[in-house]
Structure 1
């Protein structure tokens, strides 16, 4: 495999960054996880906007255009012969000493790609079975501490939540008031009496690209959507529960704590609609 490091394609074994890099030392970095279908990135414009929102939140000026970043992603895909892949695009503030950022730091830009199955109508799921999930005591980082829009390298809250979740596929986290926020790497949806619910973005909820796509598709399919503040008992008492992220797309949940979900009718409709969009856009 070859990765893209600071403008150059290098062998994976030689793809390194400095131990003084602020992304390593302090988590001072922005990243996006992308999905490539048929050699092209899905929803690039939305990912680019979210990456820039993270950089703005961090006051991280990388001075690279969206076109330049996209070219690096496509060069990485081409170098590895990958048409179907998961891609991680990272921008750190670069090297500097001390906690306070300096103006002379040179940003580090890394692109890593890994193969994934084909998407769309003829695609294969990247997960083997519906997910198991567990609510955990670990709280989501408050908005006042790190803006929810910011996807940074500082993921210790998610690491601790996954440790608490044990062998479950995903951990469901809450804010300080006990409202459901999201999974550690996913957005949460549940269906109750035919209405699709998801935690509101006025909570510390990351604005997932697949979350956005699913809510748009639900509107197209005349599925009522409500965003709100929910408690864990709302999830446990729901008719169905599913998770969304870039790699899973739409993944139903079979078990949450002691609750079991036997069907995922609305989730299946949305998963099919999502596959239709991917098929039409990329194949």
Structure 2
């Protein structure tokens, strides 16, 4: 049985969920999106994801034709239609149908669609053993050119870096900014631990300000762990006590090697594990409920 997709105000079978070949999201990557997780019958950090979606849209001058509360309900209802209690949600807003020119004024009606399905980015063994990372030549987009803080449909910068990682068999890559400072991975934010302090690049380093990133920082502060947002280089990763990545799909995943250099003792560190467990506990209680108690008898997947 196929998925049910939300598309411009309707819920349709996936084979009917089609957009125009003249949609500028397809032609030019002109649009924004969010990847969101559902855990234990709740949509995790839904409000934060919706706020970021609308902020990204505002930055590119895209007027979303429904309100934020209405968009939240789109996400929840898409999960319900697919019986999804645990899984991954992709929410997309494109500039909409236009002509073959660039002018966004030719696109009067944005396209909105929402997909709720399953995802597994990394096998569980990598959470136990840790990732081996490589630094790639592709630099992170300049904020003055295509600001990484906008979660746009144009992901070629990340895809180039992912291709480089694939060529050497690495599951993930570290991207530097134009000044040579560490920015982020191809799909995740990066953290290091040094002398008991949790450190991550600041937004101005050229990163997407991740929802998971911010959540982990909040958890750490609640636990009394010092947190710093500051610039650092590959040297600081090589000499760190611990390293891990964060992202909606990846959650919190340890990294134990970069460019052949062992990080710490080559195993996921104590602070990393503490944050992994705390993050997973938070997913049980944070976010709006998908199915109410009176709907528990429904036959639901996930």
Shorter-chain TM-score bucket reads over 0.9
Q: Looking at both structures, which has the greater relative contact order when contacts are Cα pairs under 8 Å and sequence separation is at least 6?
A: 2
| 2:213 aligned residue | 211
For residue 121 of structure 1, what is the aligned residue in structure 2? none
The change in CA–CA distance for 1:105 and 1:127 in structure 2 (over 3 A counts) is: farther
SS of the aligned residue for 2:79 comes to: helix
- Please state how far the C-alpha of 1:128 moved relative to its aligned partner: 3.6
- Aligned residue in 1 for 2:162: 162
Q: Offset of 1:281 from its aligned partner?
A: 3.1
CA distance in structure 2 between the aligned counterparts of 1:152 and 1:213, rounded to whole angstroms = 21
Could you tell me whether the CA contact under 8 Å between 2:40 and 2:284 is conserved in 1?
no
Counting only pairs closer than 5 Å after superposition, residues 116-155 of structure 1 correspond to structure 2 as: 116=119, 127-129=124-126, 130-155=130-155
The question of whether the paired residues in 1 share the 8 Å contact of 2:174 and 2:185 is answered with yes
Distance in 2 (CA, whole Å) between partners of 1:14 and 1:205 is 36
Which position in structure 2 is the counterpart of 1:88? 90
> What does residue 201 of structure 1 align with?
203
C-alpha distance in 2 between matches for 1:209 and 1:273: 15
Quote the residue 2:296 is aligned against: none
Residue 233 of structure 2 corresponds to residue 231 of structure 1: yes
What is the aligned counterpart of 1:45 among 44, 47, 54? 47
* Separation in structure 1 between the aligned mates of residue 254 and residue 193 of structure 2, nearest angstrom: 11
Paired with 1:127 and 1:153, the residues of 2 have a C-alpha distance of 28
Count residues in correspondence.
276
Q: CA RMSD in A?
A: 1.7
Structure 2 runs not aligned, ≥5 long:
290-302
Matches of 1:38 and 1:171, distance apart in 2: 31
Report the counterpart of residue 261 of structure 2 in structure 1: 259
Once the two structures are TM-superposed, the CA of residue 115 in structure 1 deviates from its matched residue by: 2.2
Q: Distance in 2 between matches of 1:156 and 1:84?
A: 29
Q: 1:239 to 1:86 in 2, by over 3 A?
A: same
Unaligned 5+ runs, structure 1: 118-124
Mapping of residues 23-102 of structure 1, within 5 Å = 23-97=25-99, 98-102=101-105
The answer to whether the Cα contact below 8 Å between 1:135 and 1:256 also exists between their aligned partners in 2 is yes
Report the secondary structure of 1:217's partner residue: helix
C-alpha distance in 2 between matches for 1:7 and 1:133: 42
Matched with 2:297 is: none
Tell me the residue number matched to 2:189. 187
What is the alpha-carbon distance in structure 1 between the residues aligned to residue 152 and residue 123 of structure 2?
24
TM-score computed with the length of structure 2 as normaliser = 0.87
Structure 1 runs (4+) greater than 2 angstroms displaced? 125-128, 279-283
Q: Is the 8 A contact 1:91 1:108 kept in 2?
A: yes
Higher strand share: 1
Q: 1 CA distance for matches of 2:269 and 2:107?
A: 52
